[in-house]
Amino acid sequence: MGVVTDIRDRTRASGPVAAVPGEAGRSRNAPASLFWRIFSLNAAGLVVAAALLLGPVTVSTPVLPAEALVVVAGLALLLAGNAVVLRLGLAPLARLGRAMAAADLLRPGARAVVAGPAETAELITTYNTMLDRLQSERAAGAARALSAQERERHRIARELHDEVGQTLTAVLLQLKRVADRVPGELREDVGQAQEATRAGLDEIRRIARRLRPGVLEELGLVSALRSLAAEFTTHGLTVRHQIPADLPALTEEAELVLYRVAQEGLTNTARHAGADRAEITLSPASYGVELVVRDNGKGVGDAPEGAGIGGMRERALLVGAELAVGPGPEGGTEIRLRVPAGAAGGR
């Protein structure tokens, strides 16, 4: 008795014993399992049949038509009850299958509804937990990959500017000295070589600027987006911009995501849209800022999303932003990125 009393006292002192997840809590709150539903239905049907056979109902030999009718009706009721129970019990599995087929790690948020018998509800819960973990791991992996990509972009841009750019500058100076001493009939050829070298140098600098947005680091997001719009206003494409100077506070990661999405959107417009007008709009919103890039081109249609849009979705996930790509209000393509204020790099 002393031992039992001591155990009880310790139990009271330590508080109530926590229930094991999935045992007591599940038995009290979760619906009955599919097995017990079918078993209970069949057991009830057999009990009723046995009670009738032991009571007023008899089966003769040979079987009378009325007796056969009663047996067939009972069997039909039992089969119909089983069909209803199975249909209701397996419906959540069908919904889970559709949710699994439509799942996309680049579009987070959609989860299967937890419903149905205990086994089905547990399976759906496990699937949702697995999807959360996969999206978290994908976001972390994408953050590392994009960070490495940005470092590689900076390295290549620096080498293009410092190595190739300086080499072409030296060639251009050498050609200028040659042009002053060559005979008159060769000056035109040397002049063409100078122009070709100068064009190559300008192209190298343009590529370096795209790889490493120095204006973003030095002058900020607003100036970087305005410079980007001016850069793409060439070759028959006119880019207008509406970018106010007063924007909510954003992290460096969020500013880089906004810049890269705008850059990729304008690149797709210039290469694939067949448009002559594009527009960049950056505006404050209740949740943060919203970036809209639209054009008057041929639109995306039913074509599958390419690597460019996939890359934009990866970047949007890093700062908890929402990206939508679809037709614009007047045709063409519209890219809409909603970035929360104070967005941090990574989820």
Q: Give the long-range contacts of residues 11-14, CB within 8 A, separation 24 or more.
A: none
Q: Two tokens at 91?
A: 């419906």
pLDDT at 74: 77
Is 240 inside any structural domain? yes
Final residue in a domain of this structure, among 140, 175, 194:
140
Is 109 inside any structural domain? yes
Q: Do 112 and 232 have their domain in common? A: no
Of the candidates 70, 175, 108, 30, the residue with the CA atom closest to the CA atom of residue 313: 108
CA 129 – CA 140 distance, rounded (Å): 17
Is 114 inside any structural domain? yes
Q: Is residue 150 packed enough to be buried (19+ CB in 10 Å), middle (13-18) or exposed (0-12)? A: middle
CA 334 – CA 197 distance, rounded (Å): 38
Residue type, 275: A
pLDDT at 244: 86
CA 303, 305, 307, 308 dihedral sign is positive
Is 334 inside any structural domain? yes
Q: What are phi and psi of 15, to 5 degrees?
A: 90, 180
pLDDT at 99: 78
Final residue in a domain of this structure, among 120, 140, 160:
140
The CB-side HSE value for 275 (13 A sphere, CA atoms) comes to 30
The number of folded domains in the chain is: 2
pTM higher than 0.75: no
Q: Two tokens at 309?
A: 């849009």
Is 155 inside any structural domain? no
Is 24 inside any structural domain? yes
Final residue in a domain of this structure, among 140, 164, 187:
140
pLDDT at 292: 92
Residue type, 276: D
pLDDT at 90: 75
Rg over CA atoms, the chain: 35
pLDDT at 235: 64
Q: Two tokens at 75?
A: 């069997």
pLDDT at 22: 41
3-state SS, residue 328: coil
Q: What are phi and psi of 141, to 5 degrees?
A: -65, -40
Q: Are 264 and 210 in contact (CB under 8 A)?
A: no
CATH assignment of the domain containing 274: 3.30.565.10
Is 74 inside any structural domain? yes
Is 39 inside any structural domain? yes
Element (H, E) at 173: helix 165-179
Q: Do 126 and 224 have their domain in common? A: no
Print the domain residue range for 26.
18-140
Number of H helices, E strands in the chain: 11, 5
CA 190 – CA 205 distance, rounded (Å): 23
CA 210 – CA 263 distance, rounded (Å): 8
Convert 61-82 to b/e letters by CB count within 10 Å (16 or more is b).
eeeeeeeeebeeebeeebeebe
* Rounded average pLDDT per 10-residue block, the chain, 347 residues: 42 40 45 72 77 67 74 80 78 79 68 77 84 77 72 76 77 79 76 84 76 73 86 80 83 85 86 83 86 84 71 80 83 87 51
pLDDT at 58: 67
pLDDT at 46: 76
